[in-house]
Amino acid sequence: MATTPNDTSAQAQFKWANSLFQSGDYGEALDLLMPLAREYPKNSEIVYAQARCLMALRRIEEARSVATHLHLNLGSARGERLLERIDRGDYGVQVEPPSLERDEPPARAPSRRVQVKPRRIAALLGVGLAVIGSGIAYRVVTDPARLRSTVSQTEMEAAKSQLNARRDETARKRQGQLEKQQEVAESDRLLNIALAEGPVDRPGIEHPPEVWQHTAIDGVPQWKPGIYKRIPCKSNAAYTLDVYIPMAYQMQPAAYFPAIMISMPEGNPAFQGFKEFAEKKMIILVAINNSSNATYGTNKYAQELAFYTVLPSLRVDPRLGFTYGASGGARTGWECAVRNPENFAGLLQVAFGGYGLGRISPHVRVAFLHADRDFNNKDIAYTIRRLKADGHEVREIVFPGDHYTIAPADKRIELMEWLASSARGDYGLAHPP
């Protein structure tokens, strides 16, 4: 292949890039060289010029890659010299830069002081004058103004026109991509709004934030049947709730429903196996994620945030609140019922008593579920005696195991069924069979 492009337009573009390089317009020169490099990938002159521009722009890794290609794939010694310059950090252009079409002369070795005999002075003066003369000639040859004069005005205008056309095309493509992204985003937004506002056709559908947030009010969803996870509490979004809403909530738009508040000692309690029960018995589940043994000092605050988030926005019957918790979770449930006596109708205490924490309202029923070897059994027995003495209805189920044995799911459902059906009966409300 020839050392310069054969196409007249390409030659003009290369000459114009050379002229721009000499003027210090390295970026403009590189813009002209990049399409030439794609069209003439084996042309060492173009590849070398491309590497020089990248070095001048301090795009070192790209320059190294191009120089390596020039040295190894195209067999040019200039590629090896460029790699040596890159390795020693010599990226810049000399004060009197050579053309892109030729490489700079190798660096001269440091001179050493030597004694020059008088009879050699004339010879040295002659050499010096020759060097000065060649330098002047070199400067004249590489003068940017003279180089520009070698490229016709028509060729320069054609190269500029091609560069501007490519830039305009790139801008149009980017604008088209941006408009397409905006169209997709708007389509997704409208779809999510439709999903958030539309009815639910089956129980247990999970509503992701990217859907319900489009119709949220004060950060709270417009509730529909299904599962909501990590709902931020009003006033403090760092505290979150998981909520399960039965299909009856949609089918009975004027009705208010019981709710079970769930807390566990490790936090993030989920629904503790009550989803099917809640769907069948038309009960709302509220799991408090930030209440735990490790956060005991702020559990009251987490419960109050749950109250202020759920009661104003969900159709929860304010008389029919229930708690479910094990160990430390049962403790926080009892304390919440003490503070809010008018809102709770029943407590299900797993592996915990609670009487010493305060008196609950006399109308509240309490169920106890614990293992036969639980270390809290004495406190549980004491609490049962005191509650019965105060006139509370109490039920107790004991299962084999210790404090850390998981309570049987069927026994949990049995006791919660008793609490919910009894409380509904107190207010003349029907309880689903």
> In this model, does residue 388 exceed pLDDT 50?
yes
> In this model, does residue 422 exceed pLDDT 70?
yes
Position 163 in a domain: no
Lowest mean pLDDT among 57-66, 340-349, 363-372, 391-400: 57-66
Q: Does the pTM exceed 0.75? A: no
pLDDT value of residue 121: 54
pLDDT tens string 261-287: 999 999 999 999 999 999 999 999 999
Looking at the structure, tell me whether residues 77 and 213 fall in a common domain: no
pLDDT tens string 185-223: 777 777 767 766 778 889 999 999 888 887 888 888 989
- 3-state SS of the chain? CCCCCCCHHHHHHHHHHHHHHHCCCHHHHHHHHHHHHHHCCCCHHHHHHHHHHHHHCCCHHHHHHHHHHHHHHCCCHHHHHHHHHHHCCCCCCCCCCCCCCCCCCCCCCCCCCCCCCHHHHHHHHHHHHHHHHHHHHHHHHHCHHHHHHHCCHHHHHHHHHHHHHHHHHHHHHHHHHHHHHHHHHHHHHHHHHHHHHCCCCCCCCECCHHHHHHHCECCECCCCCEEEEEEEECCEEEEEEEEEECCHHHHCCCCCEEEEEEECCCCCCCCCCCHHHHHHHCCEEEEECCCCCCCHHHHHHHHHHHHHHHCCCCCEEEEEEEEEEECHHHHHHHHHHHHCHHHEEEEEEECCCCHHHCCCCCCCEEEEEEECCCCCHHHHHHHHHHHHHCCCCEEEEEECCCCCCCCCHHHHHHHHHHHHHHHHHHCCCCCCC
More confident residue, 55 or 136: 55
Position 173 in a domain: no
pLDDT tens string 402-411: 999 999 999 9
Position 26 in a domain: yes
> In this model, does residue 226 exceed pLDDT 90?
yes
What would the mean pLDDT of 300-309 be, rounded to a whole number? Answer: 93
Lowest mean pLDDT among 23-37, 116-130, 404-418: 116-130
Looking at the structure, tell me whether residues 140 and 221 fall in a common domain: no
Task: Give the pLDDT band of residue 129 (cuts 50, 70, 90).
Answer: low
pLDDT value of residue 120: 52
Looking at the structure, tell me whether residues 229 and 353 fall in a common domain: yes
Looking at the structure, tell me whether residues 269 and 144 fall in a common domain: no
pLDDT value of residue 212: 85
Looking at the structure, tell me whether residues 266 and 411 fall in a common domain: yes
CATH label of the domain that carries residue 225: 3.40.50.1820
Looking at the structure, tell me whether residues 411 and 265 fall in a common domain: yes
For the chain, the domain total comes to 2
Looking at the structure, tell me whether residues 225 and 80 fall in a common domain: no
Position 117 in a domain: no
User: Domain limits at 87?
Assistant: 1-102+130-151
Position 252 in a domain: yes
Task: Give the pLDDT band of residue 122 (cuts 50, 70, 90).
Answer: low
Position 82 in a domain: yes
Nearest to 197 by CA among 250, 148, 275: 250
Position 193 in a domain: no
Per the prediction, the chain carries an average pLDDT of 85
Position 189 in a domain: no
What would the mean pLDDT of 359-380 be, rounded to a whole number? Answer: 97
> In this model, does residue 371 exceed pLDDT 90?
yes
> In this model, does residue 372 exceed pLDDT 80?
yes
Looking at the structure, tell me whether residues 93 and 239 fall in a common domain: no
CATH label of the domain that carries residue 34: 1.25.40.10
